[in-house]
Structure 1
C-alpha cells in the first residue's frame, strides 16, 4: 500500500499562507500518501500568543517525519520577548545542517551548468548571539564560537552528500586571518575526511570563493562552511540561479528536519495571490528526497522546470500568473 508520511505544515507569515498550501497541493498530486498536521510559528503567532513558537508547534514537528515551513516576519525594531522562529527551532531541535542547493532552472539571469550545494553549520559561529557593549556603549564585542564536535559533524554531513553527488567537497574558511577558530574548523573537517577517501577535498578562502562562484560556479559541487559564511555565500549562490524566489533549503538534524523557501514573508504582496511558490515547491521536493522518495522529488523538479520554461510565470519572473495558476500548471506537468 505504500508508506504514509506525517508532514507538519507551518505557513508562518505573509505569503507563507499562500505558498505552503500551493506546495501541499503539489505533494498530494504525486500520488504518495500524506498525513498533514498544521502548526503555528512566526510574528503573527507572537502577536496572538506572546511567543513566536508555541510548545505545541515543537511537539508537532517532533512527531512528524518532516516539516514544511513557509515564511516568517521579524520586526525591524527590538521587541521584548520576541525571537526569530526559525533561529529558535534550529537551536531547540539541533537542526545542525542548513542545506541550500543552487541548481540551474530556466529563469532569467540563471547561469547554465550551475549545480552545487552549500552546507552551512547551523548552530554556532556568531549566531550564538552573545554580544555586549563596553565603554559607555562605544565598543561592541560579539563572541564567535567554533567547536570541534560541531565542525566535525557538519563536515561529515557534507562528505556524505558529496559521496552521493560528484565526489567533490570545498572547505570554505578564513583561517589565514582566524587561525584558531577557522583552524579548528579545518582540523575537524580533515579528520572527518579521513573516513571518506573517495571524496576530493579542496580548500578555498571565503572571499576568493565568492569571486570564483561568480566567475565559474560550474566548478563547485558541495561547499561546507561555518554559519555566517554560509548565510552570505548561500545568498550569492541563489543569485546565480535566479534569486531567492526560487531557492529552496533544508534545516536538518538527527531527529527532525524543516524545509523552507529562502525568501521572506513579502508583506508588500501578501494576500494578493501573486506570490511565486517555486521555492516552496522545490523545498517540498527536497523534503521528499530526504524521506527517500527521490523519484517523486525528481518528478516535481522536472514539472517545475517545464512550467518555468513554457509558462505561465508569476509577476516576479515577468509573467502575470497567479499563485494558483502557476501551481495548477505544475500539477498538470506532473502527469
Structure 2
C-alpha cells in the first residue's frame, strides 16, 4: 500500500485499485494509464494504491482489505481495476462484496456513439442505471436436495426507491427527457411489481420527465432495432448487467464504462474488460 501525505484542501485524494493480483500482469494498464493522464494534465490528484485478491483479510473476511474499504469511505472517490470471480466455485464475487460493504447502490453505465468510429448505429445516446446490491445477485444460494439448487431474488422498497430517485435525479440534472423502467413483472409478479411501484412513486415527483415501463425481452428487441427510442433506463440488478452489455455491443465496444454511486457522495469508477477464464 502506498500512502501520500496530502492537504485535503489543495486537491483530490483518490483510491487507485489497479486490479486483483491474479491478473496484475495483464489487466491494470487501463488504470495505470489513466493515472499517468491525470499526471500529464497536472490535475491536483494524489493516489493511494491498494492491491486486493492476495489473501483473506480477517477484518473484512474477504479478499478486500480493510484499508481499501476505508480509503473509499474517506476519499469518497476511487478508480478500480477489473476484479475476476471464479465460475461455479471459489470465493464470493469481490465486486458484490465491495458494493454491499460500501452500499454502492446505483450502477451507472453511459452508452453513446463515438464520433469517427463506424458501427451499425450512429445515433446511440442512452444511460443504463441499475440497482447494484440485491436482486438475483444477492449471493443467497443453497442446495435443497441433491440435484435441486435454489437461488433467492431479493427486492426491497428501500433499494428500489433509492435507485429510482437516482435515475430521475440524473435525468433531470443532465437534461434527459424520458426514464424507462425495465422489468419482468408479468412473471416476477411480487418482486418486479414492487420495483415498478417504487418507480411510479418517484416518477410522480418529476412530471417534466416522461415515464414508461418496458418488459425486458421487448426492451432487448427495441434496443437492437432502434436504440434511439431510449434515453435513461432504470432496472433491477440482473437485467441491468445484461442490458448494459448489449448496449456496449451496439457501439462496438468490448468494455463497460461505469461508475458505482453510493450514499454520502461515494463514487467508484471502473472500466470492465472482457475477461476470458481458462477452465
Shorter-normalised TM-score: what interval?
A: 0.7 to 0.9
Asked if structure 1 preserves the Cα contact closer than 8 Å seen for 2:180 and 2:214, the reply is: yes
Give the structure 2 partner of residue 132 of structure 1. 142
Asked if the contact 1:16–1:70 (Cα under 8 Å) also holds between the matched residues in 2, the reply is yes
| Aligned: 1:52 with 2:59 | no
Relative distance call for 1:267 and 1:27 in structure 2 (3 A) is farther
Query: What are structure 1's unaligned runs of at least 5 residues?
Result: 269-335
Give TM-score scaled by structure 2 length. Answer: 0.87
Equivalent of 1:212 in 213, 222, 225: 222
Alignment partner, residue 71 of structure 1: 82
Alpha carbons of structure 1 residues 25 and 110: separation in structure 2 relative to 1, 3 Å = farther
Partner of 1:170: 180
Counterpart of 1:204 in 2: which secondary structure?
A: strand
Change (3 A) 1:267 1:68: farther
Asked if 2 retains the 8 angstrom alpha-carbon contact of 1:52 and 1:83, the reply is no
SS of 1:262's equivalent in the other structure is strand
- When normalised by structure 1's length, the TM-score is 0.73
Q: What residue is the counterpart of 1:203 in the other structure?
A: 213
1:38 is matched with 49
1:243 aligns with 2:250: no
* 8 Å contact kept, 2:16–2:48: yes
**Structure ranking higher in helix proportion:** 1
Q: For 1:1-335, list aligned pairs within 5 A.
A: 4-13=11-20, 14=23, 15-42=26-53, 45-46=54-55, 51-76=62-87, 78-79=89-90, 82-105=91-114, 106-109=116-119, 111-135=121-145, 137-163=146-172, 164-245=174-255, 247-255=256-264, 256-264=266-274
* Counterpart residue number, 1:283: none
* Cα displacement (A) at 1:31: 3.7
* Residue deviations 1:239-268 (CA, integer Å, cap 9, x gap): 0111223x3100110132211112145689
